[in-house]
Amino acid sequence: MKIGIFGGGQLGRMMALAGYPFNLRFSFYEAAQDCPSAPLGQLYGDKDASQASLDAFIASADVFTYEFENIPVAWVEYIAAKKPVYPSVKSLAVSQNRINEKKLFQCLNIPAAAYHEVHNQADLTQAVAVLGLPLVIKTTMGGYDGKGQFVIRDATQVAQAWSELQAGAPLIAEAFISFERELSIIAVRSQTGETQCYPLAWNTHYQGILSHSIVPAPQVSPQIQAQAEQYITQILHELNHVGVLTLELFQTLSGLYANETAPRVHNSGHWSIEGAVCSQFENHMRAVAGLPLGVTDELRPSAMINIIGQHPNTAAILAIPETHLHLYGKTERAGRKLGHITVTASTYQALQTRIAQVAACLPNKMALLNH
């Protein structure tokens, strides 16, 4: 079976690596010839996203999926009229728009930040009056790694926030959630409606980018894990989602709040390649190909550490026991995700020791141990 993947970044690359052993083959809709997925299949797509390139891509595969949610819904509708696409147009339309996401959380009674739609500066002033400060302003579509956001801490910043973000309007203003920590849950749903959930990940960001995840998140009660599983399972069924879905959460003193969803494999799930019985990538491929799902249990405590901006010394990383290096074939650039490292250990204490060893090898240390 041939799978067509929108996007040729590291997520597409790791999906393909997971699908090859059961004879899946791949094509990618991606204009950059040197993209991380290039060695794993035929590339389609041109800079102008021409109709001809889309048609050639559709002709190249049997089933379609995507590695990022910022693709036009109209394209996915166009493909869906000809060939199967998973996840569905509905999942894409909800996940790529923060207002749609908030409406979904509301409709399913999943706690989330109170919000206000913002179309002009007057709406923003009103949002401050209604929701109070601090207030997190985000573009409704297209944001990632904390881009397209402004935190208003003082009412005098309204005009500045509007002028910086107005090009991305409509905006969403969200009440600030005072969280204890950030968690995420990843789950997968098959074409027959079967679901499986991974253990919660504890995510730490640095300068707006995910720095590292520890899984299972330490000190998670069975109730919190069950609550997260209930929320994501509700979302999966509501969307009739097929494939992997991620739910980012804030853990607060009064329980879990939903932040956002991603209709795809997620950076906080990369640990699962070595740390789980069946990885998020393999499970996404299984779901898309109409195959039975794999077991999502963890094998042992794992940490995923992102490599950002500069490559580490490969031999130094691989000299650390129970450590795996994944490089994405990218060139160095500040703030760019170049790869990740997965560390596993039999206890959290041993995991901390290994994380410290990895941090010592990272050129920028990722501020891994300092925050």
Exposure on the CB side of residue 73, measured as CA atoms within 13 A: 11
- Output the smallest distance, CB 271 to Mg ion, in A: 17
Length of the chain (residues): 371
Q: Is residue 181 part of the contact set for ligand ATP (CB under 6 A)?
A: no
- Output the smallest distance, CB 203 to ligand ATP, in A: 7
When the beta carbons of 268 and 344 are compared against Mg ion, the nearer one is 268
Q: Is residue 164 part of the contact set for ligand ATP (CB under 6 A)?
A: no
Cite the beta strand spans of the chain per DSSP E: 2-6, 25-29, 42-44, 63-66, 115-118, 135-139, 149-152, 171-175, 181-189, 195-197, 201-206, 209-215, 243-252, 255-262, 302-308, 323-327, 337-344
When the beta carbons of 22 and 144 are compared against ligand ATP, the nearer one is 144
Q: Which of residues 116-145 bind ligand ATP (CB under 6 A)?
A: 136, 143-145
Q: For Mg ion, how many residues bind (rule: CB under 5 A)?
A: 1
Distance, in Å, from the CA atom of 358 to the CA atom of 366, rounded to the nearest integer, reads 10
User: Do 12 and 69 touch, CB atoms closer than 8 A?
Assistant: no
When the beta carbons of 44 and 271 are compared against ligand ATP, the nearer one is 271
When the beta carbons of 26 and 257 are compared against ligand ATP, the nearer one is 257
- Output the smallest distance, CB 368 to ligand ATP, in A: 17
Quick one: which of 46, 164, 238, 260 contacts ligand ATP (CB under 6 A)?
Answer: 260
Distance, in Å, from the CA atom of 314 to the CA atom of 319, rounded to the nearest integer, reads 9
Q: Which residues of 306-319 are buried (b: 16+ CB within 10 A; e: fewer)?
A: bbbbebbeeeebee
- Output the smallest distance, CB 143 to Mg ion, in A: 8
Q: DSSP code of 174?
A: E
When the beta carbons of 146 and 193 are compared against ligand ATP, the nearer one is 146
φ/ψ (deg, to 5) at 335: 80, 0
- Sign of the dihedral defined by the CA atoms of residues 305, 281, 13, 21, in that order: positive
Binding-site string for ligand ATP from residue 201 to residue 220, where x marks contact by CB under 6 A and - marks none = ----x----x----------
Distance, in Å, from the CA atom of 218 to the CA atom of 233, rounded to the nearest integer, reads 22
When the beta carbons of 58 and 110 are compared against Mg ion, the nearer one is 110
Binding-site string for Mg ion from residue 227 to residue 266, where x marks contact by CB under 5 A and - marks none = ---------------------x------------------
Q: Is residue 69 part of the contact set for ligand ATP (CB under 6 A)?
A: no
- Output the smallest distance, CB 1 to Mg ion, in A: 32
Pairing of strands 25-29, 337-344: unpaired
Binding-site string for Mg ion from residue 147 to residue 166, where x marks contact by CB under 5 A and - marks none = --------------------
When the beta carbons of 101 and 248 are compared against Mg ion, the nearer one is 248
Distance, in Å, from the CA atom of 206 to the CA atom of 298, rounded to the nearest integer, reads 25
Distance, in Å, from the CA atom of 97 to the CA atom of 232, rounded to the nearest integer, reads 18
Residues that bind ligand ATP (CB under 6 A): 113, 136, 143-147, 174, 176-177, 182, 205, 210, 248, 259-260
Give me the residues that bind Mg ion (CB under 5 A), please. Answer: 248
